[in-house]
Amino acid sequence: MTTIAIYPGSFDPLTNGHLDVVERAATLFGRVIVAVAHQTDKSPLFTVQERIGMVKEAVASLSNVEVDDFQTLLVDYVRAKGARVIVRGLRAVSDFEFEFQMALMNRTLAPEVETLFMMPKDSYSYLSSRITKQIAALGGDISQFVPPHVERLLRKKLAPSSSRAPVNP
Ligand code: ADP
């Protein structure tokens, strides 16, 4: 029987750190569903459709990875998909407290679902969507942090207006 893993998140935008986790999960599970959250308290820069599109393009070559979105409680979505595993990325100690609380709360709500934490390649362990957006907004080079199509979308989104040239064309 295929084990299905769900990798939920905001992906606003998808970074190479997220992609690293997806690639690792894809070697462990028969099916991996990257689930883009509608509900987020982070006021996303990109719409759900834009975030889904950028993740789809990034995982196109991974045959056992799909992209979906969800609006419900995560454990309800996981159950509806017939999945048993939630994958989350763990970077530094700073992620731990929030992730620990989420994992134990999800276990209380759905004891049959296991949360699995994966650490990215060390060079991505300080990378976040938030810091990538900040660097891009100030015209910095983000090419090592996100796939090329995400870099383009980010530059377009952050361009002050179509009449002015971007800082780093
Ligand atoms: P959320 O809003 O659910 O935290 P994110 O898109 O910020 O959504 O992150 C989704 C998951 O990916 C989280 O488990 C987060 O810790 C993890 N993650 C984010 N950036 C990285 C990274 N650079 N390396 C590994 N995991 C990461």
Which pLDDT score is estimated for 164? Answer: 46
- The whole-number pLDDT of residue 161 equals 61
CA-89 nearest atom, ligand 1:
26
Ligand 1 in reach of 132 Cβ (< 6 A): no
**pLDDT, averaged in runs of 10, over the chain (169 residues):** 95 98 98 94 92 98 98 97 97 90 98 97 94 95 97 91 48
Distance CA 111, CA 92 (A): 26
Q: What is the pLDDT of residue 54?
A: 98
Closest ligand 1 atom, CA of 88? 14
CA-87 nearest atom, ligand 1: 14
List C-alpha distances in Å: 62 to 1, 65, 75, 126. 20, 6, 25, 25
Q: Is the CB of 9 under 6 A from ligand 1?
A: yes
Structural contact between residues 53 and 25, judged by C-beta atoms closer than 8 angstroms: no
Contact 108, 72 (CB under 8 A): no
Ligand 1 and 86: CB distance under 6 A: no
Note the pLDDT of residue 109.
98
Helix ranges (H only) for the chain are: 16-28, 48-59, 74-80, 93-109, 129-137, 148-158
Q: How many CB atoms lie within 10 A of CB 81?
A: 17
Q: Is 10 in the pocket of ligand 1 (CB under 6 A)?
A: yes
- C-alpha 21/C-alpha 47 separation (Å) is 22
Please give the positions annotated as active site. Answer: 18, 42, 91, 129
What is the pTM assigned to this prediction? 0.93
